[in-house]
Structure 1
Amino acid sequence: MTLMAGLLSARMREVTREPRAIARRSRFVEGLATGRLPLAAYAEMAAQHWFIYESLELAAAAMTDDPIARRFVHPELFRVPALEADLRFLYGARWQSRISALAATTTYCTRIRSAAYDRATGYVAHHCTRYLGDLSGGQWLGRQLVEAYGFRREGYRFFVFEGVDPPLFRDRYRDRLNAVPWTRTEQDAFLDEVAAAYRLNIDLLAELEDRWR
């Protein structure tokens, strides 16, 4: 095994190779990227993201005293304020009364609460799955949405990370991940939870696709 292959970030990339490909082929994502779906479909995705990121960012607050997890608490990445701004634009001032969690979202949030509030392996797994995705493929989707739906500023703040250089942040994040002093057993637990997070996201995309055929 080469040194690179033994790095945790490389192991994570291998574990997520197939689910990343499945997510990229999502017909729901394709429909948003091309503007084939109505704006209401995008609004519903944003609403589901609000439930997920609220759970994840509450986990960040719960894990700030953990010596490993606190290395991955990055307030500059927090998405709840941006999502709430988007939802006010998309649904109006009473947006909270107009959204509800889908079944897949409820399952996803339950998993975050059970895995990420008291274990660093679980917290970091869900953290890197969401935010690294937002800073890579999510940036592509954000650009596509601007073109497809004509957003100017309001409505897609979720995709805008003020003061963050996505490629640089991703590189530093992977370095930080590779430096975590986990045992092999802890690394395996982390990778198992990353795989679970990807499955949960794929399940959510599938439910959204069913609703917006």
Structure 2
Amino acid sequence: MTDVTPFSTQVRERTRQDHSSSEGADFMADLMRGRGTREDYAALTAQHFFIYEALEAAADAQADDEVAGKFVFESLRRLPALERDLAFLLGDNWREQIAPLPTTVNYVARINEIGSTWAGGLIAHHYTRYLGDLSGGQYIARLMKRQFELEEAGVEFYAFPEIEDPAVFKDAYRELLDALDWDEAERERVIEEIVRAYAYNTNLFVDLGAAKATAAA
């Protein structure tokens, strides 16, 4: 009998390089190394707002789906925390100060296109964002707190008070992925969508860097 590689392992192996590329984008690298500003962090948070607004609307639309609904956890919801972070970072009129960058527009359009109708598509973007938030996102939060002298306000996006142990949660999430009864073609299609999601994230950092350079010119 041939061993079948768990789907979560296939995803991790196939997207390893994409994940590294996203981490290495100059804008994010500068922010992580203390060369960014509080304004840079606020700009990143603003783009997250548009992305999660679309992602969580899609999740709500598929909450009762037999497949996608298994991945819709209230404990993962980020939009209320993002709204509080932006009010803290930018003031009560934060909505008037932010606009989606070109990559964010495309990212949101893709989520809107497939997120409420294709279970695998929602799961692809859901996995990319939330497991990243529960992993590297925790390191980002610690750095932002230290660099910008923040307590909890301003970094609530990275806090998951309803998830007691992120490692245990991530393992359970991956078990859900491995239990999905998808054929090889659907698995490949979902992996390609995850790769697409990583590319959006990398391109967003490029856009953020370009917007910063334009503002400084």
Fold similarity call, TM over 0.5: yes
What TM-score range do you get, normalising by the shorter chain?
over 0.9
Alignment of 1:88-167 (within 5 A): 88-164=87-163, 165-167=165-167
3-state DSSP class of the match of 1:117?
A: coil
In the TM superposition, what is the alpha-carbon distance from 1:131 to its structure 2 partner?
0.2
In the TM superposition, what is the alpha-carbon distance from 1:30 to its structure 2 partner?
2.0
Which amino acid is the alignment partner of residue 70 of structure 2? Answer: R
Does the 8 Å contact 1:35/1:149 carry over to 2?
A: no
- Gaps in structure 2 of 5+ consecutive residues: none
CA distances 1:49-93 after superposition (whole Å, capped 9, x unpaired): 000000000001110121000000011011000000000001111
Does the 8 Å contact 1:86/1:154 carry over to 2?
A: yes
Alignment of 1:13-24 (within 5 A): 13-24=12-23
Distance 1:11 1:181 in 2: 15
Does the 8 Å contact 1:16/1:195 carry over to 2?
A: yes
Matched with 1:174 is 174
Does the 8 Å contact 2:22/2:199 carry over to 1?
A: no
RMSD of aligned Cα (Å): 1.4
**Corresponding position: 1:61 with 2:60:** yes
CA distances 1:19-76 after superposition (whole Å, capped 9, x unpaired): 1111121221222223311211110100000000000000011101210000000110
3-state DSSP class of the match of 2:142?
A: helix
Matched with 1:26 is 25
Distance 1:148 1:175 in 2: 36
In the TM superposition, what is the alpha-carbon distance from 1:2 to its structure 2 partner?
7.1
Distance 2:170 2:34 in 1: 28
Matched with 1:76 is 75
Distance 1:166 1:211 in 2: 33
Distance 1:119 1:13 in 2: 21
Matched with 2:196 is 196
Matched with 1:187 is 187
Does the 8 Å contact 1:117/1:123 carry over to 2?
A: yes
With normalisation by structure 1, the TM-score equals 0.96
Which amino acid is the alignment partner of residue 17 of structure 2? Answer: E
